[in-house]
Amino acid sequence: MLERRLLSNLPWGMVTLIAAIALLGIASVYSATYTPQGPSSLFTKQLIWVFLGVCVMIAALVPDYHTIGRYAYVLYAVSVAALVLVAIIGRTGMGAQRWLAIGPFAFQPSELAKLSLVLALARFYAEDPRSGNYGLRDLAIPAAMLVVPLILVMKQPDLGTALMLAFTATLITVLAGIRLQAVVAVVLIGVVVASAVFLVPPVRHAIWTKLKPYQQKRIKAFVDPASDPLGSGYHATQAKIAVGSGQTTGKGFRKGTQSQMAFLPERHTDFIFAVIAEEQGFLGSSLLIVLYVALLLMGVETAKNAKDKIGALMAGGITSMLSLYVFINIGMAAGILPVVGVPLPLVSYGGTSILTTFLAIGLLLNIRSRRFMLFY
């Protein structure tokens, strides 16, 4: 009975949107990884990952989301433990320690950490008797929940994920009902700290020397891409050329010169949007943005119609997280944000990213499907 009702309540509009974005992603990875000898093995892997992702999404639909909420802290503890494990034994990829090898698979716990932080914070705020109207002093526990994975991720070092964690936690706290005065206070503190960092030379120097050389280069390159056209600025410059040269209608599928001739680095992972923009033009890239906005607004609506507070917070938190992914990734390819390693949800190549995104979206569908249900 439950299954049939679940199926009839499934938001098919949202499912169609997800399928459309995922298919676009598969086609783009096919194009971005195509070799002169034919389709790359990365493409086959991506197909397998998407298939597994869909399985995970369906699995995330089956249990009542309250059950998942009950395990939120457990999931959080597991992902923190996995981050600690990475710090101890992780595999080094691209100069940073982010991967955990499980047999032949490399697994990136920082991706899972983002989702589990969302769920844990949702549960905390839902159960908190104060229920909104938080001042700064009331936020000690959620702040601690953020800081533990944050420090572990910064150790790796993975600035992109650290920023994602901080932004997501901020957004969900805003949703949970932080007092606006508190928000203003946070912003003020931020401004003061930032100006101290940038304007007081000894502090700036102390922080600057703490950064890894590749992070220094990326920040420099963002401020002035021309300063280093061969190194870090190369990514940004080449991505911008790729996006812009797509013009209105694009160069056509597998015809992007920037992408196909390998001028564009990381083109199947973090810079996949540049491939789409180059080959499909403004029409294609703005269509993708429209699809994402529709999906995200459905996420907002899911939160609005949720039966209870934990559902609303989970849906709101997941939507916030996905919005950040989408906007930071595209902003980076379009040259308005610095280059940080953030994948494009449902599109970028990468197993862990695909699985966690589908898991998150499965939870959204779960909450949306159960909005009419009574509790048994």
Contacts to another protein by CB under 8 A: 66, 126, 131-133, 171, 174-177, 229-231, 234, 240-248, 257-258, 261, 263, 277, 281-282, 285-286, 289, 292-293, 296-297, 300, 303-304, 306-309, 311-313, 316, 319-320, 323, 327, 330-331, 334-336, 375
CB of 81 to another protein, least distance (A): 28
- Closest CB 326 distance from another protein, rounded Å: 8
Q: Minimum CB separation from another protein for residue 289, in Å?
A: 6
Nearer to another protein, 269 or 320 (CB): 320
d(CA 288, CA 271): 15
Minimum distance of another protein from residue 222's CB (angstroms): 15
CB of 196 to another protein, least distance (A): 27
| Block residue for tokens 């609506």 | 301
Between residues 220 and 309, which has the closer beta carbon with respect to another protein?
Answer: 309
CB nearer to another protein: give 163 or 242. Answer: 242
Cβ 54 to another protein, closest distance in Å?
A: 25
Of 69 and 109, which CB lies nearer to another protein in the complex structure?
A: 69
CB-wise, 79 or 258, nearer to another protein?
Answer: 258
Q: Which is nearer to another protein, 117 or 242 (CB)?
A: 242
Q: Which is nearer to another protein, 155 or 309 (CB)?
A: 309
Give min distance, CB of 78 to another protein, in A. Answer: 26
Which one-letter amino acid corresponds to residue 60? A
